Structure 1
Amino acid sequence: MENVNTNDVYDPHQHRKIENPMSNFEVYISLLKASIGIGCLAMPKAFQAAGWLNGLISTAIIGCVVIYALHVLLRGMYELCKRQRVPQLNYPDSMALALEGGPKYLRFLSGSARSTIDFILAFYHFGVCCAYVIFIADNLKELIDFYGYEIDNRFYIFALTVPLSSIYLVRDLKNLVPFNALADALICFSFLIVFYYILTDLSALSQRVAFANIQGYPLFFGTVLFAIESVGVIISIEAKMKFPKDYLGLYGLLNMGLGTSLMLYALVAFFGYWRYGERVKDSITSNLPMDELLPRLAKLMFAMAIYLSFALQGYVTIEVCWRRYSEYMTLKQSHPLEYVLRIAIVLGAVLAAVMSSQLVLILSLVGSFSLSYLGLIFPGILDLCLRYSSGFGRYNIYLWQDLFLITFGFFGGVVGTWFSIRDLYTTYQRLL
């Protein structure tokens, strides 16, 4: 892409040509659905690992840092669009271009930046899809088991192949909005039921641990990252907006959507852990009494909502894989082979779900590894490279900002990934 030096101000938003753009209301609905999912239900388990007071403080800090990092990333991508005079750039291209103009000791990374980010994006959202399959299967099994038909969990996982493939064939984000709206409604009703149960018979808060052993913190960190952030979908939504200028800013749609989600995470986590303490399970719905109708209804609605969300979370995986494959094979973007690849991704998620049924460990591993890089480290590096030639502001404030994001993401990601892999290995050793 040629960088043309002219005196006129180029606004990329005014040059976008988008088929089926999303309204602000549709963006808000999609943001809620992208960030409120099974990670939210695992938050009480994360608070058990961290302690309720430590969990509240850390959730607020991590949430604010992550949302701020997303602002840094999206503003950096917009600035690159202005410099290159193009309407839009994806995440991998933005990172590569930023590195090319950054410090000399980082420029050698520009060649591998696209492939690296594509891989992590695809891996993360594929991991989310695997976790979704496990969650739906677990909830269906608990429901059917209650009625006396005990069947192996793997049967439910394999049985999901056709339903998941059918919804995954929907290609356009705007066409997914009705599914997202229905999923949001189902989740709202389900959470009303969850709060009804977790707010009853609360014991003294002093019986719960305020600050747990530090060894449990990596599990907490990874679960919170997984619950809060969905970088690829958040970027994809912005790229499809009718009014993209309304996305960022203090009162922008991004803050509204993720802020709403963050408050819900904290409430579910705090009261869920307060209610069940050390008995809290990987998903808070598994603690609800199955002999009553409302909890069974909540499980069914959650499973249905997650099923309806599968295509949204898998959108980035197919976008990355198909873009790579179509460029390599010189195929058109609308080629029928894309549907074959979509079905193959579903089959891969199903097979991976069969191999690992430890939901909370999968969430922590995917969150620690992928989102530390995508949501913290890479935004810091991108901003550092963009500001390298023009300066970092008074007292180098933006340099300290970028170094903080990189350091925070690196230590959190490395420690969280290590402990998640260790716990997964320990779990498999016990099963053998």
Structure 2
Amino acid sequence: MPLRVPLSELKRILATVRLIDNYDPYQHRVVENPMSNLEVYISLLKASIGIGCLAMPKAFQAVGWLNGLISTSIIGTIIIFALHVLLNGIYEVCKRKRVPQLNYPDSMALALQVGPKYLRYVSGGARSTIDFILAFYHFGICCAYVVFIANNLKEIMDFYGYTFDNRFYIFALSLPLVLVYLVRDLRSLVLFNALADAMFVVGFCIVFFYIFRDLPPLSERDTLGNIKGYPLLFGTVLFAIESVGVIISIEAKMKVPQNYLGLYGILNMGLGTSLILYMTVAFFGYWRYGDEIKDSITSNLPMDEFSSRLAKLIFAVAIFLSFALQGFVTIDVCWRRYSEYLKLKKSHPLQYVLRVAIVLGTVLVAVMNSQLLLILSLVGSFSLSYLGLIFPGIMDFCLRYNEGFGPHRIYLWQDIFLVIVGVIGGGVGTWFSIKELIQNYKMKM
């Protein structure tokens, strides 16, 4: 005899099932000091506009201006799309596990557990791998920031007759960087980010003044360039536009995270603005200076004019104010693993000791190699090809493995495409950057 369930009980069961299916992680988040949409946009601009933008003209010189414009727009679009895939994947994992929030490493590990059997075995090591690459990437950014600030300060002081070795300025930055890095809360950095954004606007206005003052005929510049320059362009664009750890951290601190994604979401607005600025600076910077372009376009500005020296100082201060934002992910990863191992509270004073150690580490690495563009290319090619392309493709593949890949397996081809672009671009770019860094180091010996 079939079991009869009362209508009221059946309605309650169906309501429960519906509630489970409709679980929205965003509705269950509890965020301390949440960030408004404007604060998110400001922080996003600061995370994606930095020394990578100033290095873009040199990357265009390697591939030609037309190739540079087309390639940068394509690479940038792929990167932004991959970030959407990644953030949607993290959201889907949270929804399935019925938790309001998860970080990148945990989301990747949980996604691998529902994928093919041959990928489930590596889920345990996924957390450590992603944590390492995240920490390495943002540590590399901080190293590049130290080199950039020191180079600009040296150029200014050399003009006034105070000629010191570049390493002196790098070491001198230790204490100021430690002080700004002791700011722990992400929202507390919004004021620094807003000030840095405003300084970048002023700095770029001065740069464009010099660019447009004496533009030569465009026909004097290479249109197509050399294919050997693509690894450098790929790594530089990756470094310039994508700051995965900060982008995820910003989303986690949002007051209204629903506004982050989507066609008209804050992520597209912020990174779209940045991408347009990159191509503009790269195109006109290469047009103006051609083969004379240096690792950072600020180094091409004439030192005998006050406004150019002011621009160098403005950019140096703006990057200095951005150091804590980029270093946020490194300390977050290191302290999370360290505190879990020793069972320490989040607010334990030892975190300040670790922050000081990270700053000193960036200073030492900057002293060892001060080739700015090669550092950018290496960090971008190695770290971001995995974090921003390969891992998002694998995560999406695993989450859809038992659910289907849509009509004509469109999502499968999407994931394969992201992985292939990441493997080829990242592999070639990393090999090229390491080779150049080794050659540069041997020349100094």
Deviations 1:334-366 (A, max 9, x none): 100000000000000000100010000000000
* Cross-structure match for 1:376: 389
In 1, Cα distance between equivalents of 2:259 and 2:229: 39
By how many angstroms is 1:7 displaced? 3.3
CA distance in 1 between counterparts of 2:133 and 2:444 reads: 29
Q: Tell me whether 1:77 sits opposite 2:90 in the alignment.
A: yes
Q: Give 3-state SS (helix, strand or coil) of 1:291's partner.
A: coil
1:57-96 CA-to-partner distances (Å, cap 9, x unmatched) read 0000000000000000000100110100000000000000
Query: How do 1:54-93 and structure 2 match up within 5 A?
Result: 54-93=67-106
Report the AA paired with residue 210 of structure 1: T
Deviations 1:181-215 (A, max 9, x none): 00000000000000111112111111111111111
Other-structure match for 1:7: 18
Residue 180 of structure 2 is matched in structure 1 by: 167
Who is 1:355 aligned against?
A: 368
User: 1:422 — aligned with what?
Assistant: 435
Instruction: Give the deviation of 1:107 after TM superposition.
Output: 1.0
Distance 1:426 1:51 in 2: 24
Mapped to 2, the partners of 1:112 and 1:17 lie a distance apart of 29
Residue 133 (structure 1) aligns with: 146
Structure 2 counterpart of 1:223, one-letter code: T
Q: Which TM-score applies when normalising by structure 2?
A: 0.96
Q: Deviations over 1:228-252 (max 9, x none)?
A: 1000000000000000000000000
Q: Tell me the equivalent position of 2:232.
A: 219
421-430 or 5-14, which deviates more: 5-14
Partner of 2:31: 18
State which of 178, 198, 201 in structure 1 corresponds to 2:211. 198
Q: Which residue of 2 aligns with 1:272?
A: 285
Match for residue 256 of structure 1? 269
Matched, 1:150 2:163: yes
2: distance between equivalents of 1:372 and 1:421? 15
Residue number among 322, 345, 357 corresponding to 1:309 in the alignment: 322
The 2-side partners of 1:230 and 1:39 are apart by 11
Letter in 1 for 2:126: A
1:186 is aligned to 2:199: yes
**Residue 329 of structure 1, CA deviation:** 0.2
- Which residue identity is paired with 1:395? H
CA distance in 2, matches of 1:6, 1:144: 68
Which sections of structure 1, spanning at least 5 residues, go unmatched?
Answer: none
Match of 1:112?
A: 125
Question: Are 1:232 and 2:245 matched, yes or no?
Answer: yes
Aligned counterparts of 1:203 and 1:68: Cα–Cα separation in 2: 36
2:426 paired residue number: 413
Structure-2 separation of matches of 1:408 and 1:386? 20
CA offset at residue 217 of structure 1?
A: 1.0
Residue 134 of structure 1 deviates from its aligned partner by: 0.4
Give distance in 2, aligned partners of 1:32 and 1:416: 25
Tell me, in whole angstroms, the C-alpha distance in 2 between the residues paired with 1:426 and 1:165: 32
Displacement of 1:390? 0.4
How many angstroms apart in 2 are the aligned matches of 1:217 and 1:402? 23
Shift of 1:261: 0.3
User: 2:168 aligns to what SS in structure 1?
Assistant: helix
Q: Distance in 2 between matches of 1:410 and 1:210?
A: 27
Q: 2:343: which partner in 1? A: 330
SS at match of 1:199: helix
- Whichever of the two has the greater Rg, that structure is 2
Which whole-Å CA distance do the structure 2 matches of 1:12 and 1:428 have between them?
49
Find the counterpart in structure 1 of residue 46 from structure 2.
Answer: 33
**Deviation of 1:104 (Å):** 1.1
Alignment of 1:35-50 (within 5 A): 35-50=48-63
Following the alignment from structure 2 to structure 1, what is the Cα–Cα distance between the partners of residues 378 and 239? 9
- Aligned partner letter, 2:191: P
Q: CA deviation at 1:146?
A: 0.3
Which letter does structure 1 place at the counterpart of 2:18? N
Letter in 1 for 2:257: P
1:108 is displaced (CA, Å) by 1.1
In 1, the alpha carbon distance for the partners of 2:249 and 2:262 equals 18
CA distance in 1, matches of 2:273, 2:109: 33
TM-score by length of 1: 0.98
Q: In structure 2, what is the Cα distance between the partners aligned to 1:245 and 1:72?
A: 15
**Gap regions ≥5 residues in structure 2:** 1-15
Partners in 2 of 1:204 and 1:156 — Cα distance?
A: 38
In the TM superposition, residue 427 of structure 1 has moved relative to its aligned partner by 1.1
1:364 matches 2:377: yes
Distance 1:431 1:337 in 2: 38
Return 207-216 or 318-327, whichever deviates more. 207-216
How many residues align? The count is 428
Offset of 1:6 from its aligned partner?
3.9
Once the two structures are superposed, what CA deviation does each residue of 1:23-43 show, in whole Å capped at 9, x if it has no partner? 000000000000000000000
- Superposed CA deviations along residues 91-114 of structure 1, whole A, max 9, x for unmatched, are 000000000000112111101000
Q: Match for 1:32: what amino acid?
A: L
Deviations 1:242-276 (A, max 9, x none): 00000000000000000000000000000000000
Task: Name the amino acid aligned to 2:361.
Answer: G
C-alpha separation in 1, matches of 2:441 and 2:136: 22
Offset of residue 378 of structure 1? 0.3
